[in-house]
């Protein structure tokens, strides 16, 4: 029940009147009470002056003012979960002369009338926001890798157009996470100002009560700052916040992956291209519009004239004296002069690595993902090492002769020390691999 107050004050509920009295008893000023309850100071003053509940009366004048805009407010709330104050500002521009309190009351009433508040859709403006999430699909036998692998999908949905991109990987590591983003940006032709994420390890390492106190993944934050988009974290235990992408992850599982036979992960990616073309060119169930048609109006931040972020990950290793370094359970060779040196490894793809010494590219390798404990040499590296060994053997003969003559040993020692970093070992094991 509401009460009409004199001298310009707006209608308030009994609960609000009791709240005013309670806050006054706690020592708050009338101005502080007005700010806390979102009402005018005059309303607070009139209630406290009467010191009792006023007689009930309905303001027909106020009701008429707000009723003119009730259909507009209801329509806006059907499509957008807007605040009372935002709607108040909108109808002021349309000629509304009433009080904010009437708008707030109507908005609260309309929101309660929705059968399930989860169905109040959170909509975004063109180019404003995208939603991203991982999904686990299960396992397949990859005939190219010759082993069983787990399959994960990375789903990215544009909030306005509902245009969707899906990528597939065998793990959820940060490199694949960023590769998936780059691929999506190329697919859409750009990216949104904000991107909404769940509490993914690829984004936030430690989530605290407040976003600013959370610990973010440094690699991801470098990625976000490179493009200039704002990462947004979904509120915990609020599935409706990221409902668009969660529904699409489930749809990928049910409509694309389940019940199909795939030759490999590459086969999944290839077939997903046609599937994406199909779903992005048909009428969306919620918006009743075609995503690719709406994509033209997204007003994305374009990637057309910028270089995509380098998603390669750098690793560091020390080369053994036998010119080999260890990487992912196998041994790979480098030119002999880098024996004993620290090198950096740049992973370009799942199968390719580049090896650098002090920013200089010294060689590249194709990774062996089929077995472990193998030596993978490059033929030129072994040939160089053979020449070094031949020099060593030749110098050893010279040294022996010099020792017999007991002469010029110091000269030889200075020569031998040049190559002492390279381990003298049999090369037949490497020659067999090189063919």
Look at residue 157 and tell me if it is in a domain: yes
Domain assignment of residue 48, yes or no: yes
Assess if residue 71 is contained within a domain. Answer: yes
Question: What's the whole-model pTM score?
Answer: 0.54
Summarize pLDDT for 271-303 with one digit per residue, the tens.
999 999 999 999 988 888 999 999 999 999 999
Q: 286 with 298: CB under 8 angstroms? A: no
* Domain-embedded: residue 308: no
Q: How far apart are CA 286 and CA 40, in angstroms?
A: 40
Is 163 contained in some domain?
yes
Residue 124 lies in a domain: no
What is the bridge-based pairing of β-strands 352-357 and 342-347? antiparallel
Considering the domain architecture, whether residues 215 and 145 belong to the same structural domain is answered as yes
Indicate whether 265 and 291 sit together in one domain: yes
pLDDT digit string (tens) for 302-348? 999 899 998 877 888 999 988 999 999 999 999 999 999 999 998 87
Phi, psi torsion values for 38, nearest 5 degrees: 70, 30
**One domain, residues 140 and 241:** yes
Cα(414)–Cα(309) distance, rounded to whole angstroms?
49
| pLDDT tens figures, 51-60 | 655 444 444 4
| Together in a domain, 228 and 366 | no
Residue 109 to residue 106: CA distance in whole angstroms: 5
pLDDT tens digits, one per residue of 123-133: 678 999 999 99
Same domain, 355 and 428: no
Tell me the sheet residues that pair with 153.
135, 168
**Residue 120: partners with Cβ closer than 8 Å, 6 or more residues away:** 77, 78, 80, 81, 111, 114
**Number of independent structural domains in the chain:** 4
Domain that holds residue 93: 2-119
User: Using an 8 Å Cβ cutoff, are 408 and 353 in contact?
Assistant: no
Same domain flag for 352 and 385: no
pLDDT tens, residue order, the chain (435 aa): 333 343 334 556 666 777 787 778 777 888 888 877 778 888 888 877 766 554 444 444 556 788 888 889 888 887 667 778 778 888 998 989 888 888 888 888 888 775 444 444 456 789 999 999 999 999 999 999 889 999 999 999 999 999 999 999 999 989 899 999 999 999 999 999 999 998 788 888 776 655 555 677 888 898 999 999 999 887 654 554 567 888 899 899 988 988 788 999 999 999 999 999 999 999 988 888 999 999 999 999 999 989 999 887 788 899 998 899 999 999 999 999 999 999 999 887 778 899 999 889 999 999 988 888 999 999 999 888 888 777 656 555 544 544 555 544 443 343 333 344 445 555 555 555 455
């Amino acid at each position: 029940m509401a009460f009409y107050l004199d001298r310009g004050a707006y209608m308030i509920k009994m609960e609000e009147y009791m709240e005013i009295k309670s806050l006054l008893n706690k020592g708050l000023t009338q101005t502080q009470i007005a700010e806390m309850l979102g009402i005018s100071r005059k309303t607070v003053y009139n209630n406290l002056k009467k010191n009792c509940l006023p007689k009930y009366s309905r303001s027909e004048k106020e009701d008429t003012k707000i009723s003119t805009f009730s259909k507009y407010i209801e329509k806006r709330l059907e499509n957008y979960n807007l605040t009372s104050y935002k709607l108040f500002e909108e109808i002021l521009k349309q000629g509304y002369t009433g009080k904010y309190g009437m708008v707030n009351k109507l908005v609260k009433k309309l929101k309660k009338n929705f059968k399930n508040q989860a169905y109040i859709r959170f909509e975004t403006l063109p180019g404003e926001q995208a939603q991203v999430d991982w999904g686990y699909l299960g396992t397949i036998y990859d005939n190219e890798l010759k082993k069983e692998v787990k399959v994960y999908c990375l789903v990215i949905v544009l909030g306005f157009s509902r245009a969707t991109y899906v990528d597939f990987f065998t793990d959820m590591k940060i490199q694949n996470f960023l590769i998936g983003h780059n691929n999506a940006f190329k697919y859409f032709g750009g990216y949104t100002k904000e991107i909404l994420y769940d509490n993914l390890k690829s984004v936030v390492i430690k989530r605290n009560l407040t976003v600013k106190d959370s610990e973010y993944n440094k690699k991801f934050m470098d990625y976000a700052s490179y493009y200039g988009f704002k990462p947004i974290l979904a509120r915990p235990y609020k599935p409706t916040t990221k409902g668009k992408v969660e529904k699409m992850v489930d749809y990928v599982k049910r409509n694309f992956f389940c019940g199909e036979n795939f030759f490999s992960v590459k086969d999944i990616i290839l077939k997903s291209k046609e599937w994406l073309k199909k779903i992005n060119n048909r009428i969306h169930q919620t918006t009743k519009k075609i995503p690719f048609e709406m994509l033209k109006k997204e007003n994305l931040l374009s990637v057309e004239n910028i270089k995509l972020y380098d998603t390669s990950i750098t690793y560091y290793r020390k080369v053994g004296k036998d010119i080999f370094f260890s990487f992912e359970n196998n041994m790979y060779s480098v030119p002999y002069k880098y024996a004993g040196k620290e090198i950096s490894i740049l992973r370009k793809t799942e199968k390719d690595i580049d090896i650098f010494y002090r920013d200089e590219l010294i060689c590249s390798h194709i990774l062996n993902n089929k077995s472990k404990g193998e030596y993978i040499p490059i033929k030129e590296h072994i040939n160089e090492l053979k020449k070094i060994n031949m020099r060593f053997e030749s110098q050893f003969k010279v040294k022996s002769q010099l020792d017999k003559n007991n002469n010029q040993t110091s000269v030889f020692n200075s020569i031998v020390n040049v190559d002492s970093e390279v381990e003298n070992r049999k090369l037949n094991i490497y020659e067999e691999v090189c063919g």
